């Protein structure tokens, strides 16, 4: 069997995207011309590539060490072990099988432990050899804290912890590694003098690596088989948290993303963050390029390049400081800028989920 190397780099895979391609291979016949049970042919090739970010170079483990597991719908395990030791052709009775491959076991928070992998389902027919393509991306998320000297001086005996539902890690002032977690809500807590204070919380998705500066102040081509396509591209996010900052409600690091805002209709007094991408002119039309002829609203999206209004939320800009600072009619340079907005999430504004009664903002 010819081995084919397929590698996905940052420019070839959308963040968080997973794809499955299942093809029929040659049908095997026995000496009587009758079809034999099906099979799954495994083919894996990859290389050790540097991360797309200079912040933390990552070297993928030898692909022969990836953990490959093939399980039937009734729980029977066809194979569970290193890819390098797997048979090239694994017999399989007709039915449904789950095929997974991961670079490491990851069950609880750990430093310097990115996990790459994917899991898909394949249907095997009688007398058929199934070919599966798994495109793998990072499956966990990470966070790294950078402490400003002013914060260290204010809390010389403080101990900072990063936690999730799966466990917690102590992140000391001298720690420089990324702490990895399963996707979900991540909390950063300061323990000092027998008291614990949650500094901020943030929900992270797979592939997201959050760098947070913490300071103190008053302002602030396919061959047969399973081919794992390794993607080392990850979304690196930078943010900051200033303790004792005078902003109403909650700190902006607890903000909801645009997609999360759409799932939290009715929430009041919340921070929502995203990129300013345009304005709405009616309940069915939007403008994403200048000139902009309205100062009363703007569109917020998860990416600065979005031009599909269905991927946005519409923000009401009432008269006042927020409108004066952010509206695209008077401030066209704000197009593409990331902002945090404090207001109420409503079911519909200009035909889209919306944010109204916005009383505060913070630029990225």
pLDDT digit string, tens, across residues 270-306? 889 889 999 999 999 999 999 999 999 999 998 888 8
Lowest model confidence (mean pLDDT) among 57-61, 89-93, 155-159, 343-347: 57-61
Res. 189: pLDDT tops 90: yes
Q: Is the omega angle on the peptide bond into residue 70 within 30 degrees of 0, that is, cis?
A: no
Q: How many Cβ atoms from other residues are within 10 Å of residue 271's Cβ?
A: 22
Query: Among residues of the chain, what percentage have pLDDT more than 70?
Result: 72
Helix (H, G, I), strand (E, B) or coil at 336: coil
Tell me the Cα Rg of the chain.
25
3-state secondary structure of 323: helix
Residue bearing the bigger pLDDT, 364 or 231 = 364
Whole-number Å distance between alpha carbons of 195 and 279: 46
pLDDT greater at residue 360 or residue 15? 360
Distance CA 108, CA 345 (A): 34
Q: What is the mean pLDDT of the chain?
A: 79
What is the mean predicted confidence (pLDDT) over 65-85? 91
Between CA 263 and CA 271 the distance in angstroms is 14
- At residue 69, does pLDDT exceed 90? yes
3-state secondary structure of 28: coil
């Amino acid at each position: 069997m010819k081995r084919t190397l397929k590698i996905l780099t940052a420019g070839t895979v959308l963040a968080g995207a997973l794809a499955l391609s299942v093809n029929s291979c040659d049908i095997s016949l026995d000496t009587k011309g009758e079809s034999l049970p099906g099979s799954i042919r495994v083919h894996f090739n990859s290389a050790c590539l540097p991360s797309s970010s200079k912040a933390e170079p990552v070297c993928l483990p030898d692909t022969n060490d990836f953990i490959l597991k093939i399980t039937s719908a009734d729980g029977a395990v066809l194979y569970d072990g290193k890819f390098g030791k797997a048979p090239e052709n694994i017999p399989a009775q007709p039915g449904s099988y789950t095929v997974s491959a991961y670079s490491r076991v990851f069950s609880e928070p750990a430093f310097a432990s990115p996990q790459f992998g994917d899991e898909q389902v394949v249907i095997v027919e009688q007398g058929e050899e199934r070919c599966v393509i798994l495109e793998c991306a990072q499956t966990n998320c990470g966070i790294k804290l950078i402490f400003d000297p002013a914060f260290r001086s204010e809390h010389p005996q403080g101990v900072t912890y990063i936690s999730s539902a799966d466990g917690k890690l102590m992140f000391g002032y001298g720690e420089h590694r990324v702490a990895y977690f399963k996707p979900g809500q991540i909390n950063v807590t300061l323990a000092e003098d027998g008291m614990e204070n949650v500094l901020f919380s943030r929900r992270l998705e797979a592939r997201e690596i959050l760098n947070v500066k913490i300071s103190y102040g008053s302002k602030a081509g396919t061959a047969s088989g399973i081919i794992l396509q390794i993607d080392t591209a990850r979304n690196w996010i930078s943010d900051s948290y200033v303790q004792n900052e005078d902003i109403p409600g909650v700190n902006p690091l607890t903000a909801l993303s645009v997609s999360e805002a759409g799932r939290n209709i009715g929430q009041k007094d919340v921070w929502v963050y995203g990129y300013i991408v345009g304005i709405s002119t009616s309940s069915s039309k939007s403008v994403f390029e200048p000139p902009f002829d309205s100062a009363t609203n703007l569109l917020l999206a998860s990416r600065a390049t979005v031009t599909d209004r269905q991927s946005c939320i519409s923000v009401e800009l009432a008269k006042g400081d927020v409108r004066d600072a952010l509206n695209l009619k008077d401030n066209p340079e704000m197009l593409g800028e990331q902002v945090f907005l404090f207001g109420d999430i409503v079911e519909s504004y200009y035909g889209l989920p919306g944010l109204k009664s916005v009383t505060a903002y913070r630029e990225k």
